[in-house]
Structure 1
């Protein structure tokens, strides 16, 4: 029944590394909310996961540092009435979070100089603006 979490074609988290906890949800469901344990808390120990390669683990732990508690990442899902749907939603959310955290950093910006034309236009605009402001002086009557 438990499914593996497919983060990318190279990274798959086996279901055995995930811990699930079920509790009563506060969401939709009428009287059934009071009896069914449909809320799911999915926990992955990122720090000790053997399926995450070391360099990727360092990047994920750095980017998700604010969400980790003792090296563990916990996702809660309670938006659906059924436990199965909440389990699926929690796994999808975990995969998306890990996908974003594992993404390579963007390429660094290469500094460039402004063109001569853009520099001249900027200076001309400043001069025009200065002339407008100079025209607002006091009038001697």
Structure 2
């Protein structure tokens, strides 16, 4: 299953840059768990990858900084009983993480002033609320 990981149309990670490690998984599976290495750890060296453009690499390293260890991103998958399904889950999770990290930043919000009508509605709502509260007060003359 050594196939390239397609993150976006412009970013494809060759299978040769991905490292897979297998180990025994905890969780469901009964005695099967004790004999099969179905847990998958998928690692990708983001900091030194030649397939990631420099402008994207900087953005991705910044966004994934808390998940990286020496520039390497590692994903573990052990939800399924079968190793093949865990490999697919790990690859999909890695692609999703990299896709989110590579996404363009949202446009900068330009500050705007509230419209005159919005201001008038806000002021009239405040006045109505003040009248309601004033009517709740006990008269000091009683």
TM-score strictly above 0.5: yes
Alignment correspondent of 2:70: 70
The CA deviation string for residues 61-91 of structure 1, in whole angstroms up to 9 with x for no partner, is: 1001110011110000011111111111111
Report Cα offsets for 1:109-134 as digits up to 9, x if no partner.
Answer: 12111111111111111111112222
Which structure 1 segments of 5+ residues have no match?
none
Q: After TM superposition, what 4+ stretches of structure 1 lie above 4 angstroms from structure 2? A: none
Other structure's SS at 1:74 match: strand
* 2:58 counterpart residue number: 58
Q: CA RMSD in A?
A: 1.0
Q: Which 5+ residue runs of structure 2 have no aligned equivalent?
A: none
> By how many angstroms is 1:28 displaced?
2.0
Determine the C-alpha separation between the residues in 1 that align with 2:137 and 2:89. 66
Partner of residue 133, structure 1: 133
TM-score by length of 2: 0.95
Count of equivalent residues = 141
